[in-house]
Chains A and B, each alone.
Chain A
Amino acid sequence: MINTMECSVDAQSLISISLRKIHNSRTQRGGIKLHKNLLVSYVLRNARQVYMNEKYAEIYRMQQYEEVMTVCNEIQELNPLDLVDCEEQTGDCCGSATESASLCGALLPVSHQAPSAQHIQPSSACSVPLALQSEEVCKAPDPSFYRSCCAEVYPVSNCDFSPVNSMHCNKTTVLDLDTHVVTTVENGYLHQDCCASLQQCCQGAQSPAKKRKLDFEYYVSEIEEVPDFTPCKRAKFEDSSYASTEPLDTSNISNLISIFGSGFTGLVSRQADLEQALNGQFCSKQALASLGAWTRAIVAF
C-alpha cells in the first residue's frame, strides 16, 4: 500500500508533474533519457493507482449511500414502521458479507460495507486492493517482496484499459493499447479469457453471486491494466527517438493524450450515465471538474 502521508502533493498533482517531465524530456539536449523516463513512469503509475483508489472509494461510498437510502425509502413507503428493520438489515448484511468486507474494509469505513450480497454489486472498490495485492500475490510463498520478479509488467492481453466502470452502465468504450482498436463492452462483462489469468487474485473474494465474481474480474483486469500503459507510453517515446522511420513528437503526445482522454472522458461519461440511472446527487461533479482541468492541461502539451 503506497504511503501517501509523507508526500506534500496529492496524486493528481504528481500525475501532472510527471507528465510535464516526460514532455520536457523530449526537448532536452542529448536525447530522451530512457532511465529517467522509466522512473517517472513508475511515479505516474503509483500516483494513478492512488488516485484511482481514492476515486473508487469515493464512488463506492456514494453509491452505497445512495443505494441504502433508496432501499430505506422504498421500505419506508411500504411500511413506515419498517425503517428500523432497514438499518438492522444493512447491519446484518454488513456482517454476513464478511469475506468481501475484509477486502473492502481496508479502504472503507465499516458503516459503508457491502450490504446484501444478492442484488448489490460490490463496485470497484472491492477490487481495488487486489491491484495492490497483485505484487504480493506473485510473492505469496515468500513473505518478502522482491522487486525483481514482481509482476510489474502486466501481460499484454486483450483486456483493454478502462477506468472505473459502474456496473449500472451499459456500455463502455475502451481503447486497446496494443492494437489501438476501440471496442465497446456491454454490461460490464469483458472477455472472460483475459480475466482468467487474474482469477487467482480474486480468490480472496468469495462472492456468492456469480455476477459479482465476474464484476470482480472485470474490475481487477481494469486495474491490472492501469499500470500497463505507463511503461507503454514511456516506451513509445523511447522507440520514436531511436527509430528513424516513425514520426516524432506529435504522435507520441497524441497517444498519451488519447489514453488519458479515453480514460478520463470515459470516466466522465459513465458517471453521467450513473447520474441518470440513480437520479440522485453524485459526488462526481467535483471529480468531473478536476478531470476536465486535467484533460485540458494534457491537451495543452
Chain B
Amino acid sequence: VAAGFLMSGGGGNDVQWCFSQVKGAIDDDVAEADIISTVEFNHSGELLATGDKGGRVVIFQQEIENKSQQQCRSEYNVYSTFQSHEPEFDYLKSLEIEEKINKIRWLPQKNAAQFLLSTNDKTIKLWKISERDKRPEGYNLKEEDGRYRDAATITTLQVPVFRPMDLMVEASPRRVFANGHTYHINSISVNSDNETYLSADDLRINMWHLEITDRSFNIVDIKPANMEELTEVITAAEFHPHQCNTFVYSSSKGTIRLCDMRASALCDKHSKLFEEPEDPSNRSFFSEIISSISDVKFSHNGRYMMTRDYLSVKIWDLNMENRPVETYQVHEYLRSKLCSLYENDCIFDKFECCWNGNDSVVMTGSYNNFFRMLDRSQRRDVTLEASRESCKPRQVLKPRRVCAGGKRKKDEISVDSLDFNKKILHTAWHPQENIIAVATTNNLYIFQEKVN
C-alpha cells in the first residue's frame, strides 16, 4: 500500500479537502428527473458515472492537466450522456416501473471500450461505452452523407481510409437482463471472476452471467411461504472483492449474512451471521426502522465490511460475527428527532457509505448537505459541507459542527436549523487518489485533497 503524501488515497484529517468542481443546475428549483440517484467511480478512477431519477446516465472523464508532474489538478468533464432506462408500465400487474437508476457498477476494463451495468427497479442493462475518433471516408458506392450513388456514375475505384474526426463517445446497450425480479432491485455487484454478477431485490438474489440474458440463478430466496409471515427484507448485497464464491447481504433487521456459493446452490442458509445485540434501553417506536441497514460495502482488502444504518456506520471484521469492531455515530443528535423524521419520511432515507483507497477512512452523507469523514486509523472524524457558498476554486472546506443542545457556539449550527431536504445519500471515493464525488439533490460536487 503506497504511503505517499499526495497520491496515497489515505488520510482523512491530515488531509485538507478543497473544492474542485460542481456539476448540475445552479437554481434551487430542482427538476425531479435531475435528482441524482447513484454515483460510482470506475476501477481506475478515470471515469465517474452518475445516474438520475429520469433514467439518465452521465459519465465524466478525468483530464489530467499535467500528467508529468506529480502535483496536478484533475478535472472531470462530461464524457458521455445517454438515456439508460425509460419508464415502463407492467400491464399485467397494473404497475408503473420507475426509470430511476438505482445503481451503476463498472466492469473492469478488458479492452478499449468501457462497460457498466445500470439498473432500475426491474431491469439491468449492460452498456458499452466506446470512443470513435476516426471515420472511414472514400466509399465507392456511397456519398459522404450516406446516400447511395447511381451505379452508372461510378467510374473509378478507391480504397476507403480512416480519417480523424472529432471524438465521439457512443453508448450502446449490449445486454438487457429483464424479468428476473418480482420485487424492487436494490443492488447489483460484479463478481471478481468478471463473468458473473448478482442482483438483489427485497426478497431474492439472482446471479447472472454477463453473456446470458434469458436465464439467471436464484441464489437467495427469503420469501416466506405465507407472505403474512414476512418480517424482514434484503436491503443490499455485494460480492467479495477477491473470493468469487462469497457474497454478503444485509437485511432490514440490521443483520448481515455472508454466504458461500460452494456450500449449496441455494444460499438460504448463511455461512456467517453478523448481528449486534440491541440495546434494550434505547428501544423506541422506531427501533426497527433505524436498525435497518441501507448499505453494505466490503473493504478493498476484503477483510472488513462496512454497514450503514440510519444513525451510524459500523465496521465489521469478517471473522467476528457477534459485534462490529468499530462503530461511528453519524448524526446522533437526530435520535431525539426520530418522530419528526418519521412524519416527514426522512427516516426512510437510504444513506450509502464508501471506503477510501487504502481502507483507512470511510465516508457517508447526512442532512443539510453535510457529509462525514471517519478516519479509522486516527479515530477522528470531521463533518464537511457541500455548498455553493464554498465554491471558489481550491477553497478549503471548513469543518462544520452541529450543536445538539444547550448553548450554541459560534460557527455551530443547531439541529433545528438543519435543512432535511438537503440530503447527501450518495458519495464515492476515487480508488487511488484523494478525490471524492459527493451528490447533493441535483448537483455533483467534486472535492480534492489540498495540493500545495
A interface vs B, CB < 8 Å? 1-4, 6-9, 11, 14, 17, 21, 29-31, 33-36, 38-39, 42-43, 46-47, 50, 144-148, 152-153, 156, 177-178, 231-232, 234-236, 238-239, 241-242, 244, 248
The reply to whether B255 and A38 form a contact with Cβ atoms under 8 Å apart is no
The reply to whether A35 and B233 form a contact with Cβ atoms under 8 Å apart is yes
Chain B: minimal CB distance from A10 (Å): 10
Q: Say yes or no: A43-B286 contact (C-beta < 8 A), given A145-B278, A146-B278.
A: yes
Select the residue from A17, A21, A144 with max chain B CB neighbours within 10 A. A144
A193 to B357, CA, bound (A): 60
What residues of A have a CB within 8 angstroms of the CB of B289 in the complex? 39, 42-43
Chain A: minimal CB distance from B248 (Å): 15
Q: Say yes or no: A47-B285 contact (C-beta < 8 A), given A30-B184, A35-B202, A35-B252.
A: yes
Residue B291 lies at the interface, judged by CB distance under 8 Å to chain A: yes
Q: Say yes or no: A6-B284 contact (C-beta < 8 A), given A152-B231, A153-B229.
A: yes
A233 to B230, CA, bound (A): 11
Partner of A3, one of B96, B278, B282: B282
A21 to B346, CA, bound (A): 13
Chain B: minimal CB distance from A46 (Å): 5
6 more CB-based (< 8 A) A-B contacts, given A2-B284, A146-B277, A235-B227? A3-B281, A14-B342, A17-B343, A30-B98, A38-B232, A232-B228
A-B contact pairs, 10 of them (CB 8 A): A6-B339, A14-B285, A30-B95, A31-B95, A31-B96, A34-B184, A34-B233, A38-B233, A152-B231, A156-B229
Residue B133 lies at the interface, judged by CB distance under 8 Å to chain A: no
How many residues of chain B are within 8 Å of chain A by beta carbon?
53
Chain B: minimal CB distance from A36 (Å): 5
Q: Which residue of A lies closest to B350 (CB)?
A: A35
Q: Which residue of B lies closest to A35 (CB)?
A: B233
The reply to whether A7 and B277 form a contact with Cβ atoms under 8 Å apart is no
Residue B283 lies at the interface, judged by CB distance under 8 Å to chain A: yes
What residues of A have a CB within 8 angstroms of the CB of B254 in the complex? 147
Chain B: minimal CB distance from A168 (Å): 32
A-contact bits for B218-244, CB 8 A (1 contact / 0 none): 000000001111111101000000000
What residues of A have a CB within 8 angstroms of the CB of B203 in the complex? 34
Q: Say yes or no: A35-B339 contact (C-beta < 8 A), given A29-B98, A43-B289, A241-B95.
A: no
Residue B273 lies at the interface, judged by CB distance under 8 Å to chain A: yes
Residue B336 lies at the interface, judged by CB distance under 8 Å to chain A: yes
What residues of B have a CB within 8 angstroms of the CB of A2 in the complex? 283-285, 287
What residues of B have a CB within 8 angstroms of the CB of A39 in the complex? 252, 288-289, 292, 348
A1 to B284, CA, bound (A): 8
What residues of B have a CB within 8 angstroms of the CB of A1 in the complex? 280, 283
A47 to B345, CA, bound (A): 17
Chain B: minimal CB distance from A23 (Å): 14
The reply to whether A235 and B230 form a contact with Cβ atoms under 8 Å apart is yes
The reply to whether A43 and B288 form a contact with Cβ atoms under 8 Å apart is yes
The reply to whether B285 and A145 form a contact with Cβ atoms under 8 Å apart is no
Chain A: minimal CB distance from B186 (Å): 8
The 5 closest A-B pairs by CB, nearest first: A144-B277, A42-B288, A30-B98, A235-B227, A232-B228
The reply to whether A3 and B231 form a contact with Cβ atoms under 8 Å apart is no
Residue B340 lies at the interface, judged by CB distance under 8 Å to chain A: yes
A39 to B335, CA, bound (A): 17
Select the residue from A3, A11, A21 with max chain B CB neighbours within 10 A. A3
Residue B92 lies at the interface, judged by CB distance under 8 Å to chain A: yes
A244 to B251, CA, bound (A): 27
What residues of B have a CB within 8 angstroms of the CB of A42 in the complex? 288-289
A-contact bits for B96-121, CB 8 A (1 contact / 0 none): 11101000000000000000000001
What residues of A have a CB within 8 angstroms of the CB of B278 in the complex? 144-147
What residues of B have a CB within 8 angstroms of the CB of A144 in the complex? 277-278
Chain A: minimal CB distance from B286 (Å): 6
Chain B: minimal CB distance from A190 (Å): 21
Q: Say yes or no: A17-B230 contact (C-beta < 8 A), given A147-B291, A148-B255.
A: no
Residue B93 lies at the interface, judged by CB distance under 8 Å to chain A: yes
What residues of B have a CB within 8 angstroms of the CB of A43 in the complex? 285-286, 288-289, 342
Q: Which residue of A lies closest to B294 (CB)?
A: A35
Q: Say yes or no: A4-B252 contact (C-beta < 8 A), given A17-B342, A30-B121, A144-B277.
A: no
The reply to whether B226 and A156 form a contact with Cβ atoms under 8 Å apart is yes
The reply to whether A33 and B184 form a contact with Cβ atoms under 8 Å apart is yes
Residue B182 lies at the interface, judged by CB distance under 8 Å to chain A: yes
A15 to B429, CA, bound (A): 41
What residues of B have a CB within 8 angstroms of the CB of A36 in the complex? 348
What residues of B have a CB within 8 angstroms of the CB of A232 in the complex? 228
What residues of B have a CB within 8 angstroms of the CB of A239 in the complex? 227
Chain A: minimal CB distance from B235 (Å): 7
A99 to B104, CA, bound (A): 60
What residues of B have a CB within 8 angstroms of the CB of A178 in the complex? 228
The reply to whether B94 and A248 form a contact with Cβ atoms under 8 Å apart is yes
The reply to whether A8 and B230 form a contact with Cβ atoms under 8 Å apart is no
A39 to B202, CA, bound (A): 13
Q: Say yes or no: A244-B233 contact (C-beta < 8 A), given A31-B184, A33-B184.
A: no
Interface residues of B in 83-97 (CB under 8 A from A): 92-97
A38 to B286, CA, bound (A): 12
Q: Which residue of A lies closest to B284 (CB)?
A: A3
Chain A: minimal CB distance from B434 (Å): 34
Q: Say yes or no: A35-B235 contact (C-beta < 8 A), given A6-B338, A148-B253.
A: yes
What residues of A have a CB within 8 angstroms of the CB of B235 in the complex? 35
A242 to B203, CA, bound (A): 13
The reply to whether A8 and B229 form a contact with Cβ atoms under 8 Å apart is no
Q: Say yes or no: A4-B285 contact (C-beta < 8 A), given A35-B252, A39-B292.
A: yes
